[in-house]
């Protein structure tokens, strides 16, 4: 099963992704986490150090090719596949692949196109793949996430967050991308205005799968730079994401 987390920048995609991975790790399944946001911060949330990204590997190979370092008779794509496999970081609970960003002002689309291929190649090796996507709609228009089973769209209280969520739903329809499930998650909701937020969220046309409240404990972890996966099991946010996961797995 492939689960992707999407939405506007800063709405809580990485928070939801990291806590889903935390909860899934308890199931003993083979999990691959992919950080597909060029503004990468999933490794920090997971408490994993990363020294090589897919973007780095691609740059290396480009340089080697330009300098004629690729032995004749060797296929560039095979080398790339091999190097990508070698940049998967293994931890006892899950594997992690960070797409990263290409050097300089390079277009992110090259890395994005690679992501589609990586998902195709690696999906057989894992029970579950969790993708923390790039903010916005690009992953849909480039069809990077077309093979995703469950698309979770995250939004906060903001109108812009809701608008991006709405557009993701609309664009998936326009591009005829049929996710098995497409859900909305409301994050950083203040209980006082929950009713109003839910009403606004219903206008996106997406089914609301769960609500995560604004959480001071998360803010404290942010302040100290502590990995979010270290939040205790009785944290309200961990419990909320755990509920979301059981709803995904039940259906």
Contact of 155 with 161, CB cutoff 8 Å:
yes
| Interface with ligand ADP (CB under 6 A), residue from 118, 148, 168, 212 | 212
The answer to whether residue 193 forms part of the interface with ligand ADP (CB under 6 A) is no
Residue 12 interacts with, from Mg ion, ligand ADP, none (CB under 5-8 Å by kind): ligand ADP
Q: Which of residues 6-35 bind Mg ion (CB under 5 A)?
A: 13-14
Under 8 Å CB-to-CB from 88, ≥6 apart: which residues? 32, 95, 96, 97
The interface region with ligand ADP, picked from 10-18, 25-33, 76-84, 164-172 by CB under 6 A, is 10-18
Write the binding mask 69 to 98 for ligand ADP: x where contact by CB under 6 A, - elsewhere.
Answer: ------------------------------
- Rounded least distance, CB 95 to ligand ADP, Å: 20
Write the binding mask 29 to 68 for Mg ion: x where contact by CB under 5 A, - elsewhere.
Answer: --------x-------------------------------
- Rounded least distance, CB 211 to ligand ADP, Å: 10
Contact of 232 with 19, CB cutoff 8 Å:
no
- Rounded least distance, CB 12 to Mg ion, Å: 8
Write the binding mask 133 to 172 for ligand ADP: x where contact by CB under 6 A, - elsewhere.
Answer: ----------------------------------------
Contact of 22 with 14, CB cutoff 8 Å:
no
Q: Which of residues 19-58 bind ligand ADP (CB under 6 A)?
A: 41
d(CA 86, CA 219): 35
- Rounded least distance, CB 131 to ligand ADP, Å: 12
Report the interface residues with ligand ADP, using CB under 6 A: 7, 9-15, 41, 187-188, 212, 214-215, 218-219, 222, 237
């Amino acid at each position: 099963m492939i689960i992707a987390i999407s939405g506007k920048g800063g709405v809580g995609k990485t928070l939801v992704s990291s806590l889903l991975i935390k909860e899934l790790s308890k199931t003993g399944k083979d999990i691959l986490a992919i950080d597909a946001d060029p503004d990468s911060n999933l490794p920090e949330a997971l408490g994993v150090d990363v020294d090589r990204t897919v973007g780095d590997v691609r740059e290396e190979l480009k340089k080697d090719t330009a300098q004629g370092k690729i032995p004749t008779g060797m296929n560039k794509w095979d080398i790339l596949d091999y190097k990508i496999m070698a940049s998967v970081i293994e931890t006892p609970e899950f594997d992690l692949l960070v797409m990263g960003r290409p050097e300089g002002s390079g277009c992110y689309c090259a890395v994005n196109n690679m992501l589609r291929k990586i998902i195709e190649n690696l999906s057989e090796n894992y029970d579950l793949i969790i993708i923390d996507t790039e903010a916005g709609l690009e992953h849909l228009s480039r069809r990077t996430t077309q093979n995703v089973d469950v698309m979770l769209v995250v939004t906060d209280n903001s109108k812009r967050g809701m608008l991006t969520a709405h557009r993701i739903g609309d664009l998936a329809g326009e591009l005829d991308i049929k996710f098995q499930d497409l859900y909305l998650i409301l994050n950083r909701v203040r209980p006082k205005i929950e009713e109003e937020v839910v009403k606004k969220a219903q206008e996106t046309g997406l089914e609301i799968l769960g609500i995560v409240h604004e959480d001071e404990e998360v803010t404290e972890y942010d302040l100290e730079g502590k990995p979010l996966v270290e939040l205790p099991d009785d944290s309200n946010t961990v419990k909320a994401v755990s509920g979301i996961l059981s709803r995904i797995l039940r259906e």
